[in-house]
Structure 1
Amino acid sequence: MRIVHAVRSDGFAGVERHVARLARAQAHHGDDVTVVGGAADDMRRELDGVRHLEARTVPEVARRLAGHGRGADVVHVHMTAAEIAAGLVPWARHRPAVVATRHFAAPRGSGRTGPFVARLARHAVQAQIAVSRYVADHVDGPTTVVYPGVDVAPSTAEQERVVLVLQRLEPEKATDVALRAVASSGMLHHGWRLQVAGTGSQAAELAALADRLGLRAELLGHRADVDELLGSAGILLAPCPVEGLGLSVLEAMAHALPVVAADAGGHTELLAGLDDRALFPPGDAATAGDRLRALAADDAGRAAYGRAAAARQRARYTLAAQVAGTADVYEELL
């Protein structure tokens, strides 16, 4: 099958990583795959030989699709801007099936132009995939849930006494809750370290908050070695209350890394029932700190939680399962 993925982006965060991993897995499965959009160096590293074309704007995505999508069986778009781009292409005789993955738990369009944007985005889309049941329940239109997968080789590194926060540093991610939770836990006074990997508009503000809280936070910025960070950390802290799924949480599970996460959105689907200390009420830094402190003091419990998380990931959230579920959506249209 010939597949073209498109995302209007010059960055590399959760959505772009999702696109790159799915595209690479489909190519390994035998499909002819092209990816449009995303930060060139990061995408090409993750794609490992799969064809990549840069596209930073909606018109650029539309031009790429007009040139490379006409002979495709499926054009698979990610986020509203790429949906709009697909709708701008005059497909002529050979019109590919257009599938959209919904990554966020919200209807299309916002603000005064929202209804127009939503209509324009929906125009080209023939089927939708949601990354979680939570997302499917909050988007517009019929949607099939296909969970993302990860296939991560078990790390040979020894887990260190590190609390890792791995996310964009934007307001909706609630990184400030993570800093307050670590401060509340007191664990940095008992040999633990805090690492924050990611970039965003709140970087300076969060550095100032860490200083006010007396935290020796290692603000790592953008990192390409995400697997290495996850493989050597002791706990992942995921405070975002609106994650459609939580790719970093899923990756942590693959590394047998215990997670303390906001009990909301996709986090709940991934972690519920694994450990009593896995989830905390969104925004509640004090309770999150309690969860962290309890896990930090329980070496055997952390290891058991990590093994249970890894077993769940390998049973439910593999790239093979994602490729198969995505192919089912394609084939129903074709």
Structure 2
Amino acid sequence: MRVLHVVQSDAFAGVERHVARLARAQSAHGDQVVVIGGHRARMVETIDDASVRVLPAGSLRQVVRTLRAASRGADVVHVHMTSAEIAAALGSVTSRGLPPVVSTRHFARTRGSGPAAGLTALVARAPVRAQISISQYVADHVDGDSVVVHPGIDDRPDGPSAADRERSVLLVQRLEPEKRTDLGVLAFSASGLHERGWRLLVAGDGSQRPALEELVAHEGLGGHVQLLGPRSDVDELMRSAAVLLAPCPVEGLGLSVLEAMSNGLPVVAAGAGGHLETLAGLDPLALYPPTDVVRAGESLSVLAASTARRDAYGTAARAVQRSRFTPLAQVEGTTAVYRTVLQAPRP
């Protein structure tokens, strides 16, 4: 299969990581893959496959121009996010058409926003022949039918036991309002772990960093909370931390949660969104009522006190990841959608 992925972005956040990992898995499966978009150096590093070309996508005009050229000979154009759908729509009407377009929906909301939402949605939907949702939660909240294909995560080497890990809670996400990193800081404060010599490590950056710095000072957590900024060594952080905290109450699925599971790292997460699909049934402390920082703090405190429980939870989480959230399962599910589209009559 010849696949062209498109994401109109020069960044490297969750969606771009999703695209890079899927492209790598598809190439390993024997597909010919080209990627348009994402921070080029980070995409190339993550894909780690010289046969996968990564082309820039800094603006809508550049994406449309590159898409028209790169789509020649492709079997499927696979777009990610509304801006890429719009690029495909423009590309299809300004050329002799594109190969069938499949769209992955990453967020639990309908297309478009603001006064022109209806027009934006109409244009974006036009070229899309099939939709993939990264979780059932997303599928239940997007416009139109979609097939659920969960992201896959590569196996990690065995990590250290809980007794050999640092006394630290790790939080990995963009520091943007919808992620509610503030709730993570408040949950750590409520846990009292800082009084027992524990630290909260926050990997990521965004518009909320100044507000978070003020919150850390207000809670008296200076010296106990470290805002690490963007990091390329997340796996190393997960192999040394004791618990991952995931406070976002509207997460489509949560790649950092899957990465933690792959590393045998216990997770305490808001009991909402895609977290219910990844963590349900693993441990009673895995999920807490969304925004309830006191309950979240209690779960952190209990897990911190028991290395045996953290080891058991981490082992169970890793087993679930290896059985349900694998690159092969993602490639097979994605290819099934491609084949359905290719076998259907062209509209």
TM-score with structure 1 setting the length? 0.98
* Greater alpha carbon shift after TM alignment, 67-76 vs 89-98: 89-98
Contact kept? 1:36, 1:54, Cα under 8 Å = yes
2-structure distance, mates of 1:333, 1:83? 16
- 1:37 and 2:37 aligned: yes
Paired position in structure 1 for 2:260: 252
Distance 2:319 2:169 in 1: 22
Partner of 1:58: 60
Note if 1:166 corresponds to 2:172: yes
1:265-309 CA-to-partner distances (Å, cap 9, x unmatched) read: 000111111101011111111111011011111110011001110
* Superimposed CA distance per residue, residues 171-195 of structure 1 (whole angstroms, 9 cap, x where no aligned partner): 1001000000001101122132110
Say how many residue pairs are matched: 334
Q: CA deviation at 1:94?
A: 6.3
Q: Which deviates more from structure 2 when the two are superposed, residues 324-333 or residues 207-216?
A: 207-216
Residue of structure 2 in register with 1:182 after alignment:
188
* RMSD of aligned alpha carbons: 1.1
For 1:270, which of 278, 286, 307 is the aligned residue?
278
SS at match of 1:5: strand
Residue matched to 1:111: 114
Give the letter for the 1:173 counterpart: K
Given that 2:109 and 2:142 are in contact with CA atoms closer than 8 Å, whether structure 1 keeps it comes out as: yes
5 Å matches for 1:136-175?
Answer: 136-157=139-160, 158-175=164-181
Q: Give 1:213 shift.
A: 0.7
- Quote how far apart the aligned CAs of 1:90 are: 3.5
1:232 matched to 2:240? The reply is: yes
1:107-151 per-residue CA deviation (whole Å, 9 max, x = no partner) reads: 111110000000000011000000000000100111000000001
CA distance in 1, matches of 2:97, 2:81: 24
After superposing the two structures, state which structure 1 stretch, 157-166 or 303-312, moved more: 157-166
Please give the secondary structure, in 2, of the residue aligned with 1:243: coil
Q: Distance in 2 between matches of 1:76 and 1:241?
A: 28
The whole-number CA distance in structure 1 between the counterparts of 2:35 and 2:237 is: 26
Alignment partners' CA distance in 2, 1:290 and 1:303: 18
| Counterpart code for 2:54 | H
Deviations 1:293-332 (A, max 9, x none): 1111111001100111000000100000000000000011
CA distance in 2, matches of 1:165, 1:191: 17
1:199 maps to what in 2? 205
Letter in structure 2 aligned against 1:193: R
Q: Distance in 2 between matches of 1:209 and 1:155?
A: 36
Q: Shift of the alpha carbon at 1:40?
A: 1.4
Q: CA deviation at 1:70?
A: 2.2
Tell me the equivalent position of 2:332.
324
Deviation at 1:155, TM superposition (A): 4.3
Tell me, in whole angstroms, the C-alpha distance in 1 between the residues paired with 2:40 and 2:158: 27
- Please state whether the residue corresponding to 1:163 is helix, strand or coil: strand
